[in-house]
Chains A and B, each alone.
Chain A
Amino acid sequence: MAGGIDRRFVYNVDWVLLGATLALALVGVAMVSSATYSGRHPDLYVKQLVLVGVGTVGLVVAASLDYRRLADRAVLLYVLSVVALLYVLRFGPVIAGTRRWILVGGFQLQPSELVKLAAAVFVAKVFSEYRQETLGLRDVVLPGAAIALLGFLIAREPDLGTAVCLVPLFLVVAFLAGLRMRAVAGLAAVMLLLAALTWPFLKDYQKTRVYTFLDPSLDPRGAGYQKIQSQIAVGSGGLLGRGFLGGSQAQLGYLPARHTDFIFSVLAEEAGFVGVVVALGLYLLVLWRMLETARLARDRLGAFLVAGLAGSFAFQVVYNVAMVAGLVPVKGLPLPLMSYGGSSVVSSLMGVGLVLSVRIRRFAN
């Protein structure tokens, strides 16, 4: 990789994107520290900080990789992804009723997070190979099926949240690759139909989440509890917030999953509306610069890769924050860059690294 770097690359690094990304990760570390302050593991933020460091190294490595060389091995990455997911389903330890992890040297790795990156490379590669101006539904069936297989394997863990992230990734790239608007509408219809057909196969707790989202008072101590408590945390934060470590919802443990999926509730409670606007501004900035990078990419492959990553990233951010605000049903979906969790943080930072990889090579041969 050393051979791939020259001075132009460093010059072309998007410092705004990098800065906003790292700022969000550090805000995340602070929020993890607050969320776990009065719990049993008050030093978890140190681990998160280390993981941000590891992720930053991953970011640099990903940025220095030539995305075109990576895309040449897209099929290999895809096959490795399927094998890894099958391995998890077969041999992964059962933690909290799910098989999502593999243990490597005492660390829990969540392959599905890295599979998202591989999927982005795979989808970008496949669609960049198409030479026609516009695509019909028939053109997306095969890559769609390939991604659906990954989604199916992840959903089996079960980890519906991460599986669903593959949908926007795929749709955004297909859309950019020239999928006809009619086909986009058709695809959306198919998705809805699929969702409807999936309903009978959902686990009871998943159905309960939908029901209680529609009416949280059905189960105020159970599934509705998370939504209620999160809204209370957010609302009681007010304009300026209750101060670092000052949120009673977070500090007294009323917020569920407060250092992971509901980290944004902690931020909203303790930093208030002002903090929320700053954080959402940073996320929008990251997203905007990613899409700018896609626009500036020298080839379709780069544009598609970045757009796919941005699509998945945007979906996760918007869904998670909307969930915290009580707008959508509760789903186990971490907030990229901020939620505690090694695989999520490292994969998010590496994703940004891939975006940078495209950007610094926009003038390269």
Chain B
Amino acid sequence: MRIYEDLRVVQSRLALLQAVAVVLVAALVVQFWNLQVVRARHFRGLAENNRSRLVTLAAPRGALLDREGQVLVGNRPSFNVVLVPENADDRLVARLSATLDVREAAIRERLVRRQPYRPVVVKTDATLADVAALEARRLELPEVTVEVVPLRSYPLASAAAHALGRVGEITAGQLPLAEFRGLAPGSLVGQAGLESRYNKDLMGKDGFRRVIVNSRGLEVAEAERQAPEDGPSLTLSIDASLQAAMERSFEGRAGSAVALDPRTGEILAMASTPAYDPNAFTTGIDASLWASLASDPLTPLMNRVIQGTYSPGSTFKIIASTAALEEGVITPATTFYCPGYLAVYNTVFHCTHSHGVMDLRRAIANSCNVYFYQVGIRLEIARLAKWAKLMGLGIPTGIDLPYESSGLMPTSEWKMRVFKTPWYAGETVSVAIGQGQVSATPLQMARVVAVIANGGRLVNPRLAKAAAGGGRAPVPLGIHPETIAAVKEGMRAVVAEGTGWRARLQAVEVCGKTGSAQVVAKSRLEKSPDTHELLPHGWFLAFAPADDPTIALAVLVEHGRSGGESAAPVARQILAHYFGLDRPGAPGVAGVPDTEAED
């Protein structure tokens, strides 16, 4: 028997379900149309973004060369261990830590700081042993790769460190600046010295590799490559050999020296001690090393040549002499009597001892204070300051280095502005011998001595030869030749018979001027005469040969007591090297016993 059920309700409702099915599938088709046809370009872009990554190929920075072409700063290939961080789990970190001898916490810290989708450098400047250990674990550590990158290297280590500068990762504060436009976080830029000043010129053009990566971030193919372009090298006026001699001459004492060509302003050597090794900064400096450098009371990070400001002491007498002669308040023949002190303006101003009757030449040679007290009284502060400023005091020299100090040349207007009190005539007396408020950097004083050396022109110191616009020509100051000749005679006598005799060379005539910059008041020093930190700084300015100078020099030895004792021998060593007198068989150094066998 066949029972036919009534299926009419079922069939009508089934028809409804069929319609629902069609509508649902049609809705899906519409969505796929939207994704695949309407927005296809957008998603194709996202997919492309997914699969390709740009790997920067760092361009080697341009080398810094000395005047003979010797490499002062170069690049060497180094290994970076790079981790693709997408799949970096604890086990991987632990394994890497053991293989590379890097603390796990250090790796983790780098992973936390990473940018999304960027490989992380786990260890910079890895050793060959590290690389070999990684190769042996290739299969266990597929996410780890080794890349070869150029690393900044300073073959002279700490020599000329302050002039050359250092590189470091671009800081958060630098990123938005116009001069660093286009640089990514992590880029290496100059952070001090010439590296910073000429950063843009030295940086090459980074290349890149566009690589196809899978979802684990591992490279599967290279799609495109653009080779990096090396930065152009920069030739400096520095003489590496003279630089080395200058560094040696300090024998570990704190201080600085700068030698320049008085005819052009080219810097021949520039040293500031203590120094640091810029190689320690190239891979990201160790925090404890940084802390010790930054907190060292001897401030090894400071470039004393352009940032150290000191009382010029008696070296200021070069300026006072020039001013007095040019303003006509004295002639070279003018004499003053030195009883060992000068009582004026209700104050007693001291001299080292009683010099007797002094003319200008002997006053410079013996650094007689009383003579220059008299000069100061006659010149007054306005005319003294006018000439000091003409010769470069109180204004930056404009050398091609960042963060230069300007020093200070006080005037009555300055005092009124800053202290709201009038200038006292007695202050001029102190300033005339380089004490009081006046302060200058060693480079400023080298510029002063160069004025006498080159016959009255103010040089514009320069480290880079013919780069970035080149150095500006020395500026004539309009000083009478008789004035220059008279000051020069005095400086000749300083070395020949006066306070600077320790700088004397047998074969080359040296002109100079000693100076001592008081650190504390005389009375305080007399209470504890052997406390090193309270001793005055020793200055020595020099140029040579006397008749046709090719080198001008400023030397400052911190707490060296007197310039004649401390700075003049340093200058002599530098000059001896410059004139080739420190080589075996060269004429000996006159006047001083040959105590050291040099080199």
For residue B16, give the distance in angstroms from its CB to the closest CB of chain A.
Answer: 9
CA A300 to CA B31, docked complex, whole Å: 36
For residue B112, give the distance in angstroms from its CB to the closest CB of chain A.
Answer: 15
Say if the beta carbon of A272 comes within 8 Å of chain B. yes
Option from B14, B17, B28 in Cβ contact (under 8 Å) with A322: B28
User: What residues on B are CB-neighbors of A166 within 8 Å?
Assistant: none
User: What residues on B are CB-neighbors of A276 within 8 Å?
Assistant: 29, 32, 36
CA A294 to CA B9, docked complex, whole Å: 12
User: What residues on A are CB-neighbors of B480 within 8 Å?
Assistant: none
Option from A239, A254, A297, A365 in Cβ contact (under 8 Å) with B50: A254
User: What residues on B are CB-neighbors of A38 within 8 Å?
Assistant: 214
Say if the beta carbon of A33 comes within 8 Å of chain B. no
**By the criterion CB–CB under 8 Å, are B14 and A232 in contact?**
no
**By the criterion CB–CB under 8 Å, are B7 and A303 in contact?**
yes
Chain A residues touching B, range: 35 or more
**By the criterion CB–CB under 8 Å, are A291 and B13 in contact?**
no
**By the criterion CB–CB under 8 Å, are A277 and B46 in contact?**
no
**By the criterion CB–CB under 8 Å, are B36 and A295 in contact?**
no
User: What residues on A are CB-neighbors of B7 within 8 Å?
Assistant: 297, 299-300, 303
The interface-forming segment of B19-27, B233-241, B356-364 is B19-27
**By the criterion CB–CB under 8 Å, are B35 and A307 in contact?**
no
**By the criterion CB–CB under 8 Å, are A291 and B50 in contact?**
no
CA A254 to CA B21, docked complex, whole Å: 32
Q: Which residue of B lies closest to A179 (CB)?
A: B13
Chain B residues touching A, range: 35 or more
User: What residues on A are CB-neighbors of B47 within 8 Å?
Assistant: 232-233, 235-236, 248-249, 254
User: What residues on B are CB-neighbors of A304 within 8 Å?
Assistant: 10
**By the criterion CB–CB under 8 Å, are A303 and B31 in contact?**
no
The interface-forming segment of B37-45, B133-141, B369-377, B584-592 is B37-45
Say if the beta carbon of A163 comes within 8 Å of chain B. no
**By the criterion CB–CB under 8 Å, are A283 and B36 in contact?**
no
Say if the beta carbon of B18 comes within 8 Å of chain A. yes
Q: If A253-B214, A253-B216 touch, does A318 touch B17 (CB 8 Å cutoff)?
A: no
**By the criterion CB–CB under 8 Å, are B43 and A234 in contact?**
yes
Say if the beta carbon of B534 comes within 8 Å of chain A. no
The interface-forming segment of A94-102, A170-178, A348-356 is A170-178
User: What residues on A are CB-neighbors of B11 within 8 Å?
Assistant: 295
User: What residues on A are CB-neighbors of B44 within 8 Å?
Assistant: 235-236, 238
Option from A133, A288, A314, A318 in Cβ contact (under 8 Å) with B9: A133
For residue B183, give the distance in angstroms from its CB to the closest CB of chain A.
Answer: 27
Q: If A236-B44, A252-B214 touch, does A231 touch B15 (CB 8 Å cutoff)?
A: no
For residue B421, give the distance in angstroms from its CB to the closest CB of chain A.
Answer: 66
Say if the beta carbon of A237 comes within 8 Å of chain B. yes
**By the criterion CB–CB under 8 Å, are B39 and A235 in contact?**
yes
Q: Which residue of B lies closest to A254 (CB)?
A: B215
User: What residues on A are CB-neighbors of B29 within 8 Å?
Assistant: 276-277, 280
Say if the beta carbon of B33 comes within 8 Å of chain A. yes
User: What residues on A are CB-neighbors of B37 within 8 Å?
Assistant: 238-239, 273
User: What residues on B are CB-neighbors of A133 within 8 Å?
Assistant: 9
For residue B385, give the distance in angstroms from its CB to the closest CB of chain A.
Answer: 66
User: What residues on A are CB-neighbors of B216 within 8 Å?
Assistant: 253
User: What residues on B are CB-neighbors of A253 within 8 Å?
Assistant: 214-216
Say if the beta carbon of A284 comes within 8 Å of chain B. yes
Q: Which residue of B lies closest to A133 (CB)?
A: B9
User: What residues on A are CB-neighbors of B35 within 8 Å?
Assistant: 231, 234-235, 268, 325-326
**By the criterion CB–CB under 8 Å, are A176 and B213 in contact?**
no
Say if the beta carbon of A287 comes within 8 Å of chain B. yes
User: What residues on B are CB-neighbors of A303 within 8 Å?
Assistant: 7, 10, 14
Option from B18, B43, B48 in Cβ contact (under 8 Å) with A288: B18
Q: Which residue of A lies closest to B13 (CB)?
A: A176
For residue A193, give the distance in angstroms from its CB to the closest CB of chain B.
Answer: 23
Say if the beta carbon of B491 comes within 8 Å of chain A. no
**By the criterion CB–CB under 8 Å, are B10 and A236 in contact?**
no
Say if the beta carbon of A321 comes within 8 Å of chain B. yes
For residue A225, give the distance in angstroms from its CB to the closest CB of chain B.
Answer: 10
Say if the beta carbon of B5 comes within 8 Å of chain A. yes
Q: Which residue of A lies closest to B38 (CB)?
A: A235
CA A237 to CA B46, docked complex, whole Å: 12
**By the criterion CB–CB under 8 Å, are B31 and A325 in contact?**
yes
Q: If A176-B14, A233-B47, A307-B14 touch, does A252 touch B36 (CB 8 Å cutoff)?
A: no
**By the criterion CB–CB under 8 Å, are A178 and B51 in contact?**
no
Q: Mark A293-320, 1 if CB is under 8 A from B, else 0.
A: 0110101100110010011001000100
For residue A95, give the distance in angstroms from its CB to the closest CB of chain B.
Answer: 21
User: What residues on A are CB-neighbors of B567 within 8 Å?
Assistant: none
Say if the beta carbon of B484 comes within 8 Å of chain A. no
Option from B21, B51, B220 in Cβ contact (under 8 Å) with A314: B21
**By the criterion CB–CB under 8 Å, are B31 and A248 in contact?**
no
**By the criterion CB–CB under 8 Å, are A307 and B17 in contact?**
yes
User: What residues on B are CB-neighbors of A254 within 8 Å?
Assistant: 47, 50-51, 214-215
Q: If A237-B36, A276-B36 touch, does A252 touch B220 (CB 8 Å cutoff)?
A: yes
Q: Which residue of A lies closest to B3 (CB)?
A: A299
CA A169 to CA B50, docked complex, whole Å: 40
User: What residues on A are CB-neighbors of B39 within 8 Å?
Assistant: 235
Say if the beta carbon of B2 comes within 8 Å of chain A. yes
Say if the beta carbon of A5 comes within 8 Å of chain B. no
Say if the beta carbon of A327 comes within 8 Å of chain B. yes
**By the criterion CB–CB under 8 Å, are B43 and A283 in contact?**
no
**By the criterion CB–CB under 8 Å, are A314 and B24 in contact?**
yes
**By the criterion CB–CB under 8 Å, are B215 and A232 in contact?**
no
**By the criterion CB–CB under 8 Å, are A291 and B36 in contact?**
no
What are 11 A-B pairs with beta-carbon distances under 8 A? A133-B9, A175-B17, A176-B14, A233-B47, A235-B36, A235-B43, A284-B22, A297-B7, A303-B7, A303-B10, A365-B2
What 9 pairs between A and B have smallest CB-CB spacing? A235-B43, A253-B215, A236-B47, A273-B36, A238-B40, A252-B214, A248-B51, A235-B35, A236-B43
* Beyond A268-B32, A300-B10, A314-B21, 14 extra complex contacts between A and B, CB < 8 Å: A176-B9, A231-B35, A232-B46, A236-B48, A238-B40, A248-B47, A248-B51, A253-B216, A280-B29, A295-B14, A299-B5, A318-B25, A325-B31, A326-B35
By a beta-carbon cutoff of 8 Å, the part of chain B in contact with chain A is: 2, 5, 7, 9-11, 13-15, 17-18, 21-22, 24-25, 28-29, 31-33, 35-37, 39-40, 42-44, 46-48, 50-51, 212-216, 220
